[in-house]
Chains A and B, each alone.
Chain A
Amino acid sequence: MKNILKIAAAFILLLTAGCHKEYLDPVPQTSLSSLTVFDTKDRVEAQVNGLYDGLKAAQFLGGRYFVYNDIRCENFIPKSSNLVTGYSTWNNSVITSTNEVQNCWAAGYNAINTVNIFIEGLDESWNAGKLTGKITDAEYNQYISEALSIRAICYFNLLQLYAKPYSMNAGANPGLPLRLKAEKSSENNDLARSSVAEVYAQILADLNSAEGKAIANYATSVLNVTRVHKNTIIALKTRVYLHMGNWASVVSESAKIVTATAPYTAPSGVAFLLNPSYTNIWVAPYTSRESIFSMPATSTDNAGSQNSLPSYYFSGATESYYLNTAAGTAYATMNAADVRKTSLTLASGNYFISKFTDYTNHANYAPVMRYAEVLLNRSEALVRQGGSVTQEAVDLLNAVRTRSFAAGAYNLASFPTVNDFYTLMIEERAMEFLGEGIRNMDLMRLGLTIPAKNGGSMGSVAAIPPTSTGYIWPISAQELTFNKLMVGN
C-alpha cells in the first residue's frame, strides 16, 4: 500500500509540475486591448479615423442613409420588391421592427457611442499627462473637434428620419435620447427622449465647440474631403440652421465660406469651389473642391452589395431604383438640355442617375455635403430672411443651375412672387441632389407633403401629408423594448 501511494504521489507531482500555466492567459493577436489604444499618436489617430468609420457604416452614411432619404420620396421607383433593399421605405410601410428602421438607428448610435468612448478615453489620458510628448495641444483640440462634429452629424441625421421637423411646434416635439457619455456596461439602458429643440441645441453646441478647435486644412485633398476641418463644420452649420429656420444664422455662417461674388469660394481654409463640370464630381478620385465632406470607399473598404449607393442607383444592379418620370418629379422638371438630365443612363426603358456607377467595387464616395448646397442654403436663407428675392440670392442659385443648364439662368423677373422663388429653389435642389439624400430633408424641414407615386407593378403609394404618422419613421422596436423611458412616434 505504501508503494502505491508513493508511486501515485510521484506521478501526480510530476504531471502537475509541467502544466502550461501561461496558456491560461492568451493574448489576442487580431485585436488591441483597451489598455494600449492611447499608447501612441498613431493609435490615437487611428481611433479618430475609427470614428469616421462608424459614421461610414453601411447602414448609415456609408450608403443606406442617403438612399432612405431619397426613396421614401417621389423621385425613384424600385426594380425589385425586395424588402432588403428598401421596398418598405419606398412604399411607406415601415414599422418599428422593419430592418432599416432598426438598423439605421443602431448604426447612428453606434457611431455616437464610439465618439463618446473616444472623448472619454482621450480626455482621461490627456488629463493624466499620458499623451505628453506624443500629441500637441493643437492635435488634441483637432481630435476633439472632429469627434464632436461626427457626433453632431449623427444626431442631425437621425433627427431627420426619427423626429418631427423643427418647424413643427418650434422643436417642442420629442427628439432623440441624448447620449453624451461613454457606454461600456450593461447600465443606463433607460433614457428619455430630449425634445427636438434640445437635440438641435446639442448639435450646435458640439459644432460651435468643434469650430473653435478645428484644423484649418489637411495636407491632401482626400483628407480635406474625408475628414472634418473648420470649413466643413461651418458648412454643416448652414444646413443645421436652415433646418431650424434660423435664416439669419444661415446667412452669417455661410458668409464665412462664400465670397460676396462669383466665382464663389471659401476665402480661408479649404477653398471650396463649384466644380466646373457636374458629371466630373462623380468621377474618381471624388475629391474635387466642391466635395465638402464625403464617405470614402475603395474596393477593399466599402458598404458592399445591397448597401452601397451603386447597389441602389446603378442601372445594372438587380435591385436598383430608376427615376420616376411622372409630372412634378425631378426628372419631369429638368430641361432636356440640362446636363443633369442628359447625363442620365437609359437602360431597358428606364432612366437611372449616373452618379454612382462603380457597382463592381462599390467604390464611389458617398457625398455627405457639397458646396452647391451651401450656395443654395445661402440663397434660400437670404430670401427667407428678407422676405424678398435679392440679386445675390438669384446669382447664388444661378451659379449652381447654369453650371448644368447654361440657358436656364434666372433673373429677378423669374420670380413674380417670393413663393415662386421658394418653389423653384426646392425644385432646383431636387434636381441637383438626386440620389444624395437631400430630398426628404427638404420636404421635412418645410413641412411639405411627400408626393404620391405610381410604381407600376411595384404598386402605387399615396401622398403622405405632414399630419400623417408615416411622415416620419417610427422608432426602432428594439429601442422601445429595451429603453423603458423611450416613447414611440
Chain B
Amino acid sequence: MKRILMLFSLLLLAGSLAIGQTVQISGTVTSSEDGLPVPGVSVIVKGTTIGTLTGTDGKYILAVPQGSESLMYSFVGFRTFEALIAGKNVIDVTLETDLFKVDEVVVVAYGTQQKRDLAGSIATVKGDAIASVPVQSFDQALQGKAAGVSITMPNGALNNPPVIRIRGFNSITGSSYPLVVVDGVPVFTQNVSQTRAYANGLADINPTDIESMEILKDASATALYGSRAANGVILITTKKGKGGKTSVTYDGYVGYTEPYNIFEVMNGDQYLEEKNVARTNAAITTPLVRALDANGNPIDTKWSDFIYHKGFQQSHNVTFSGSNATTSYFLSVGYSNQDGMIKNSSYIRKSVRLNIDHKLNQWINLGANVGYTSGLNESPNTGSDFSTAGAARLAFVLPSILGPYNNDGSYNINGAAIGTQGTGLTGISYYNPAPIFDKNRYTNQTDRVIGNLYASVEPLKGLVLKTAFGVDNLSSESTEFLTGLTGDGFSSSGNAWNSFYRPNRWTWTNTINYNKTFNEKFNLGLLAGVEEQSTKSNQWTAEKATVSDPFFEVYQGSWVTARMGGGSIGENYFISYFGRANFNYNKKYYIEGSFRRDAFSGLSADNKWGNFGGASVMWNASNESFVQNAIGSIFSDIRLKASYGRVGNMSGIGDFSSLYLYGSGLYGDIPTLAFSQIGNSALQWETSDKYDFGLSFGMLKDRIQAEISYYKNDINGLILSVQQAPSKGIPGGTIPQNIGAMTNTGLEFSLTTYNYSTPNFSWTSTLNLSTLKNEVTALAPGIDYLVGVTGGLETTNRTVVGEPIGNLFVVETHGVDPETGRRIYVNAAGREVLYRHEITAQRWVYKDDGSVSPAITLAGDGKVWASPLPTLFGGFDNNFAYKGFDANLGLTFATGFSVYNGSKAGLRDQRFWNNSVEVYETYWRTQGDVTNIPRPVYGDNVSNGSAIPISENVEKGNYLKVRNLSFGYTIKNLPEATKISKIRLYAQLFNAFVFTKYTGSDPEVSTNGNANLTPGIDRNSAPQARTYTLGVNVNF
C-alpha cells in the first residue's frame, strides 16, 4: 500500500511538470469516399498524446500547445493524415480510405507500432475474420490465417484445444505451445479440465470480443517475453469503444454440427460371413450365430448411430460501445450453447466483458479490461487411443451382430462389457455405448476472470509511465459419474469423482515509454520495465464408490466407500527486468534492440536468472529516392529486414524440479515416505537462437502486398528426460537434463492482393505458405532415439538425430502374398517373413524358403519410416463483395507428411472387432488374389498392425480443406425509425470439405494432442465435425 501511495504521489508530481500556453484549433473531418463527416477520428498533436476525437458531426476542437507543428488525423480504415498548423485556427481535413490497410497499427510486446515500422516478424489476424466462425475458441479459427502458424484440430471432440505450432516444434519434453497474452496478461492455456470433457483454456475468451490477434514469431518480436518466448507469442487484444456515438450490435447464429467421414463397417450379414470364414481358417469349429431382435429380425446394429448425431448450436452476442473525448467503453454479453457431434457433448459459455478507458486529465489515463466467463463442458468419454469406453472407438469396433438392448428392453450387458447374446463371441471387453451414454457423465465447469487495471501518466511530452495489474483467476470444477451397472464403473459398483482445480495468477507490469522525434528525422523509442508474475495452483480430487442406491448420480449422494482423494499444489514466480530501444532515421533505416532478464523460482539458486534479447535492422528501400526513381512506379514499398535473438522456454521446468524430494503414501493404512524426485540443480531454460531474414514489398500502390521470410531457430539445451538404466531404480526412471538440440528452418510467404476494389464489387485474396524443416541435432549421450508412445500402449514414433522430431516408427510390410494370403513383413536384415496366425507353433516363416523365422518385433525390426510433420502448409482466403452480397472461401492445406492410420489396424483386426467394409469386400480368398487384406484368421491381431505398427498403415496425409464457406447479404439504409443501421444475414459452412487420398477419417488429426514426440497418430480418434450455421449481425 505504501508503495502505491508513493507511486501516485510521484505521478502527480510528474503531472505538474507539464504546463504551458495553448491555442485552440477546430475543424471538420470528412471522408474522401462519400464526403460525409467521419465521427471518432483521433486528432493528435504530432509527437504528443495531446488529442481529441471528432464528434458525430465530424467536428473537433483541440487546445494545442503553442509552437506545435502539425496535427495527425487517424481512424480505422483511413490513411493517417498529417496537417501542418502553420498558424491556422481552422483546419478541415478530408481522409482517404485506407483501402489496402497499410496504415494499420499492430500490437507488439508492451506496446503498439505502425505495421510498416515493424522490423520483427509479426502476423496479425483481425477479430472480425473469426468472430462468426462456429467454434468454441478463437484458436480453432486461426488455421491457415497466418504464415508460419500451424494449427491442428486433434479431432472433432467439442472444445478440444488445437495443437498450435509457431515456426515448428521448439521443444521435445517441454511444451511447444506458444505463450498467450490477453490484454497484457499471460493466461492459462490448453486443456484446463481434469476429466474427459475437454475445456480449452482459450475458450474463456469470447471470440467476438477480440479486436486483433498478433502472432509474434521471431526473436526480435518475442524477446521481451524472455524465458517464455521460444514457442512464439500470441497477443490477444480485446475491443475498445470507438466512434463518437454509442454503437449497439447483435451477433447471433444457429446451426448444427455433424461428423463427416465416419468409418463404414460391416453390417450384420457381412460380419457373420467374414468372421465365420476367419473362424474356419483358425480351425474354430463353432461358427458365430446371430440372435433375432425384438421385431424378429436378425440383429444388425449400426453402432455409430448410438455415438453421433447432429448437434444443435447457437450463439448470441450483444455489445455496447462508444467513446467521447475522454472516455471509451466496450461492453459485451455473450451466450453460446453448442452441442457436439458426439451425443451428450455440449459446451455452454456465458461471458461478459467491460473494457473502459478514461482520460482523467491531459496527463493521466486510467482504464480496465475485464472479462468474466463461465463455461460448462459436458461430454462422454470420447476416446482417442485405447480406452475400451472411448466413444469414437466403440462406433466401429463393436460387432454389428450385437444389439444395444435385449429383447426384453434391458441393456445388453455382461458385467462391465457388452453382452454376447448367444452369438458365440467371447472375450469382449468393450462396453455397450447405450447404457454408458445414458448413465455416465463427465462435466467440467470453469469460472474465470481475466482482466487488468492500468494507469498511465505522461508527465512530459513523449514520456509515459504505466502501471498495469492483471489477473487470470480460473476455477475449474470437474465431475465424473460412472454407473455401477456396466462399463468403467462396474468394478467399483458405481463411482463418483469430483475434482477442483484453481490456478490463479497475478501479473504486475510497470513500464516507462519514451518517444521522441529529433529534427523531424530521428525517431527514437525507449521502453524500460519491471514485471512480476506469481502463479499458484491448487488441485484436489475426491472420490466415492459403491452407490447406495442407483438413484444417486453425484458425489454428494450416498455411497458406501470413500476413496482416498488426491491433489497437487504448485507455485511459481517470475521477476523480470526488460527494455527496448528502437530508432529510425527518416523511416528509412531502422534498428531495434530488446533485452529481458528473467528469474524463475523453479530453478536452483545458481540458475535462477537468465538473460534474453533480440535485435533487428530494417531498410525501407522505397524511401530512398534512387529506388523510388528506378522502380517506384511498380513497387510502392520495399523493405529488407533481418533479426537475431535468443529467447527461452521454461515449460519443461517444474515448480520444484531442483529439489530432492520424498513423497508420502500408504502401506495398507500406515503412512509411508519414499524417495520420489531426484533434484537437478543444473537444470536451466531451453534456449532458442532465432534468425530471421525478410523482404516485404507492396506493388501497384499497395494493391499487392507480399512478405517473404526465411527463419532458422537453433534450439539448445533441450530438456530431455534422460532414461536411466531401469535397474538403477530411479523414481520415474528418468532424470531431466539440458542436452538436446534441434533446429527449425523454413520459408514463409504471404501475399495479400486486392484483386478488385470498386464500390460495387471487391475481391481480396490472402495466401500464405510456410515450409518447415525440423531436424533434431542432438539427443542425450548414449541415447540413439526417443520413443513416442500412443495411449501408453503402442510405440508409434521414434525421434532420431538427423531427422525431424517424432518420425513414425513401424515394421516394413510388403502387402499381402498373393500365393498364401499372408502379410509380408520385412525383418531387420531385409528378408521377407510371413505371419501365419493359426499355426501357433511356427507363426513366422521366411517367404523364400518357408523355414521358421524368429518373431518380428517392433524393437528388433522396426524402421524409422516417415515424418508426420507437414513440410508445406498454409491457407488461401478469398473475400468477395458485390453490392450487398459478400462471400468468403477459406482454404487450408498441408503436404509432405505422413499419418499413422492406427484406426485402420483396428478396422482390419481379426478378433471379434468389426471391420471396414473394405475388409469384407477385398480380403484374400484364393490363391492369386492381389489385395491388401490378408487371409482372415480369427483372433489374428498381428497381420493388420494391432500388435505391431506396420508400414501398411502409414499413409500420405496431403490434404486441401475447404475450411470455411460463407455467403452473406447486408441490408443498409433501413428506415430511420428502426434505429438499425445495418443488418447482415449469412450462411456459413465450417469444415466443409476435405480433399485427400488419406483413407482414415481425416488427415488433420492428433490422437496424442499437444505432445511433441507423438505427432501424426490417428488411433481411434473421433472424426472432425462439419458445422452449418445461419447467422445475423445487426448494428443499431
Contacts and interface: CB of A to CB of B under 8 A. Distances in A.
A29 B569 contact: yes
Given A114-B674, A318-B415, A318-B429, A26 B571 contact: yes
Interface string B459-502: 11001010000000000000000000000001111000000000
Interface stretch (B212-220, B709-717, B727-735): B727-735
A4 B460 contact: yes
B569 A113 contact: no
B263 interface: no
Contacts of B731: 110
B6 A14 contact: yes
A326 to B, nearest CB: 16
Nearest to A78: B427
A298 B429 contact: no
Nearest to B568: A30
Contacts of B562: 299-300
B725 A49 contact: no
A81 to B, nearest CB: 5
B723 interface: yes
A301 B665 contact: yes
A28 interface: yes
Contacts of B530: 12, 15-16, 19
Contact of A113 (B14, B728, B840): B728
Interface residues of B, number: 98
Interface string B542-585: 00011000000000000001111001110111010100000000
A388 interface: no
A186 B724 contact: yes
A408 B756 CA distance: 101
Contacts of A83: 793, 947
Given A28-B656, A457-B426, A112 B729 contact: yes
Contacts of B3: 14, 17-18
B967 interface: no
A482 B785 CA distance: 11
Contacts of B671: 46, 49
Nearest to A93: B855
Contacts of B670: 49
A296 B668 contact: yes
Given A7-B14, A11-B10, A360-B546, A186 B465 contact: no
B460 A34 contact: no
Interface string B786-812: 000000010100000000000000000
Nearest to A88: B947
B395 interface: no
B676 interface: yes
B401 to A, nearest CB: 16
Interface in A278-337: 296-301, 305, 311, 316-319
B155 interface: no
B491 A317 contact: yes
A297 B514 CA distance: 67
Given A18-B3, A298-B668, A462-B841, A24 B601 contact: yes
Interface stretch (A259-267, A268-276, A373-381, A472-480): A472-480
A27 B14 CA distance: 41
Nearest to B939: A459
A172 interface: no
Contacts of A17: 3
B858 A97 contact: yes
Contact of A34 (B10, B429, B605, B661): B661
A34 B660 contact: yes
A457 B793 contact: no
B659 to A, nearest CB: 6
B727 A179 contact: yes
Nearest to B660: A34
Interface size of A as a range? 35 or more
A7 B563 contact: no
Contact of A114 (B572, B722, B729, B783): B729
Given A11-B510, A47-B672, A188 B795 contact: no
Contacts of A413: none
A31 B667 contact: no
Nearest to B569: A29
Given A80-B427, A81-B427, A97-B857, A111 B665 contact: no
A7 B513 CA distance: 12
Contact of A10 (B10, B416, B679): B10
Interface in B23-57: none
A53 B667 CA distance: 5
B545 A457 contact: no
Interface in A61-109: 78-84, 91, 93, 95-97, 99, 102, 105-106, 109
A461 to B, nearest CB: 7
B848 interface: no
A463 B665 CA distance: 42
B165 interface: no
Contacts of A10: 10
A169 interface: no
B737 interface: yes
A12 B528 contact: yes
B496 to A, nearest CB: 14
Nearest to B663: A31
B90 interface: no
B723 A457 contact: no
Nearest to B837: A459
Nearest to A30: B569
Contacts of A419: none
Interface string B386-422: 0000000000000000000000000000011100000
B17 interface: yes
Contacts of A4: 460, 463, 514
Interface in B820-842: 840-841
B471 to A, nearest CB: 16
Given A32-B661, A34-B661, A483 B727 contact: yes
A173 B428 CA distance: 42
A76 to B, nearest CB: 14
B728 A361 contact: no
A152 B198 CA distance: 46
A183 B726 CA distance: 11
Name, among B569, B572, B724, the residue most crowded by chain A CB atoms within 10 Å (CB to CB).
B724
Contacts of B672: 46-47, 49-50, 52-53
Interface in A181-224: 183-186, 188-191, 222
A10 B528 CA distance: 13
A299 B561 contact: yes
Contact of B465 (A11, A23, A477): A11
Given A7-B463, A99-B793, A185 B678 contact: yes
A381 B1035 CA distance: 95
Contact of A186 (B284, B737, B941): B737
Top 7 nearest A-B pairs (CB, nearest first) are: A113-B729, A296-B668, A50-B674, A300-B564, A23-B573, A34-B660, A483-B725
Given A31-B664, A296-B667, 7 more contacts: A16-B577, A20-B534, A30-B663, A47-B674, A83-B947, A96-B857, A112-B729
